[in-house]
Structure 1
């Protein structure tokens, strides 16, 4: 989540003016412009835990090893030993003459007497494709009634689409107070401000889409009531170019276009459903298409509404 410009004040959560926050500078990429989307980094600049990066690297190594093993084939070889002809048995002169006559009369029969060396055709073992590993079944539980969400907040994170790759635990992560404060640029009093809106907890999940073209980060804040979440969204602004979120007139959308198409651009959508405020960040190569963000916001809104 990118650092917001303003959030509602603690004294007047509904209508009070919001203090200006410190917006963390966003450095332009210095990597080769032809490179793909950079390694997973949350839109705030908060990097994933080191253990996650190590796990990804290890998984990649294992995948290479497995692929190499799969293409190894076994080729059968013919027997290298030469065939040995049997020694002729001693026969009488008449028998020899008879045999000679028979050979002369029937060359085919003589040829058939020569031992035939069997030819062993090489065999190739065709590797059987391994079945894809099933997606782990989540054990998280949650329910929603009248806009009130109960259970594990991670349950309400937008599900990862088929083929998507999770960065970190597939179920997402609960955020500590320090991590939540970092999402808002560590501005003074942010946890006190959140507390005035009945803040309970937060959860986040980051994944890469199946086509590898986008990285999506979903962050949920569980607040005290539907009205608290709605008022919080009203005062949540950012120092980026605004864009419209289709289908949600109460949402805020922002875009950061890259200076070059080879660099990474980003979009952020902010809204609420019931007592949960949600933010979706999308990082893509080149200029982002707001249609993707609008679709993700719609899916998250529906997921929070139905509870799955």
Structure 2
């Protein structure tokens, strides 16, 4: 290393000054270590408003138009979305001078040494409170009062709702779309003293099935029962156990890698209920029977 320039003159030849080499920054205790940039995790788009798939209806009663339509045959793979990587904020690195000078003495070096200390013990953060429903309803002698969403089958432990946790009330346009926009469908519904509909879609905890529950409230128990009996689909029929008033349908996929579906239809009091299940491969009708029974019990007691 060359001697610094512009030294003052001296009587004797100047001895070259020895300057210590700069200490590498990574060797200095507390110096920040370059960290590779962490790619930003894209914000997950909000869950799109989803509607029950179109179904066919055959309504036959005195003086009314008989309507039948084919159900949609859309194949969708149902699976559990990949877990998103957690982003952990790192602590601020320590600061250090860009250069370091030689220690003045051995004792100074010893006193400047950092003494490791035991990490402080902290309590784990309390879990976030579980969201609960904010809608209310009551049932008496088969008549359901209050918010119809209250009577939607509760999401099982570990399940994940698509859209609002409490479900959604449906407009007339959405109800008509559910019936494939058949001519006169709203007129037919009103002939049964139709009042309102509500729906909710959720994914099961194991990520293997997607469940859609749809409720339709009518003017009386007799009207809801009659409408449910005439609500049919152009699919293969299946038996539903545990719900004597129910009838069901199944669509098996052409390949096990595709999505199959099941639908159950029944009524309790002044409400018709319909449960749709989409699952990869051939559906197990035992799952549909269980969901239909649970929905019936919930409509019966409200709890």
**TM-score w.r.t. length of structure 2:** 0.71
How far apart are the structure 2 equivalents of 1:73 and 1:265? 49
How many residues were matched structurally? 249
Distance apart, 1:155 and its partner CA:
0.8
Q: Decide which of 270, 273, 296 is 2:265's aligned counterpart.
A: 270
Larger RCO of the pair (alpha carbons < 8 Å, separation 6+):
1
Distance apart, 1:301 and its partner CA:
0.6
Q: Decide which of 180, 205, 213 is 2:175's aligned counterpart.
A: 180
* SS of the residue 1:228 aligns to: helix
How far apart are the structure 2 equivalents of 1:9 and 1:281? 23
Alignment of 1:268-307 (within 5 A): 268-307=263-302
1:92 counterpart residue number: none
Tell me if structure 1 keeps the 8 A contact 2:211–2:276: yes
Q: 1:131/1:81 Cα in 2 relative to 1: closer, same or farther (>3 Å)?
A: farther
Alignment of 1:147-158 (within 5 A): 147-158=142-153
Tell me if structure 1 keeps the 8 A contact 2:78–2:279: no
1:205 counterpart residue number: 200
How far apart are the structure 2 equivalents of 1:24 and 1:127? 57
Note the residue ranges of structure 1 that are not aligned, 5 or more in a row. Answer: 30-34, 40-59, 87-112
* SS of the residue 1:68 aligns to: coil
Tell me if structure 1 keeps the 8 A contact 2:139–2:145: yes
CA RMSD of aligned residues (A): 3.4
Distance apart, 1:162 and its partner CA:
1.8
* SS of the residue 1:203 aligns to: strand
Distance apart, 1:138 and its partner CA:
2.2
Q: Decide which of 57, 63, 86 is 1:6's aligned counterpart.
A: 57
More helix by share: 1
Alignment of 1:27-42 (within 5 A): 27-28=74-75, 36-37=78-79
Tell me if structure 1 keeps the 8 A contact 2:214–2:275: yes
